[in-house]
Structure 1
Amino acid sequence: MIANMSESELERLSRMWEEHMRAPFPPHMRGREIEGENMVLLDAETAGCVVSSLSGPLEGKRREILLVCLAAIEKVLPSIDDDGASEYYKHLQDMAALAVELGNANAPVA
């Protein structure tokens, strides 16, 4: 268990991750780019960072990647024209935001 992380927030992220793993990837998003973002790669990079955050606070490089992914999701969401795919990426966005929030809560104080 991560020392300073709120149990309920960590449990929430873990539950969200389990939900994400059960959700099928929207098939029509394979091979698709929106706003210059490869949608499969965006999902994979974000998911990798979220999984890492379940083990402990993200180190600098992985945290930077997650912040870039979060910004990319925010950029593409308005352009996703399918409710199922939009829901899928909104859930991904919510997980990424919570992972960042948990990381910020556990960042060393300067």
Structure 2
Amino acid sequence: MDFDGVNLVLLDADVAGLVQRELNGGLDDRSVALLWGCIADLDKIAPLINEEYCASYFTNLRTTAQVAASPYLPRAI
């Protein structure tokens, strides 16, 4: 399912995989950049979702991603 150009299923899977990788030893530079990209996508779509459960889920996913990314500074692109 796409929402404002973001595939929610892939976004969910990407965040889950990156958080798991962080928990299992850390992220490389590419993974850090991907995680910050996911956070940007979550920032874009979460406020636009008007179904309560789905909005809550993606807001919580964004919080989880932010916690995993917190040791890393976002890279300038």
Give the aligned partner of residue 93 of structure 1.
62
Aligned residues: 73
Q: Which 5+ residue runs of structure 2 have no aligned equivalent?
A: none
Larger Rg: 1
Shift of the alpha carbon at 1:34? 1.0
Q: TM-score, length-normalised on structure 1?
A: 0.63
Q: TM-score, length-normalised on structure 2?
A: 0.88
Structure 2 letter corresponding to 1:61: R
Identity percentage over the alignment?
32
Q: How many angstroms apart in 1 are the aligned matches of 2:5 and 2:28?
A: 27
Question: 1:42-82: CA deviations, max 9, x gaps?
Answer: 10011110110101221111111101000000000111111
Q: Which 5+ residue runs of structure 1 have no aligned equivalent?
A: 1-31, 106-110
**2:37 paired residue among 61, 68, 82:** 68
Contact 2:15–2:65 (Cα < 8 Å) also in 1: yes
Q: How many angstroms apart in 1 are the aligned matches of 2:33 and 2:44?
A: 17
> What's the Cα RMSD here?
1.3
**1:57 paired residue among 26, 34, 46:** 26
Give the aligned partner of residue 15 of structure 2.
46
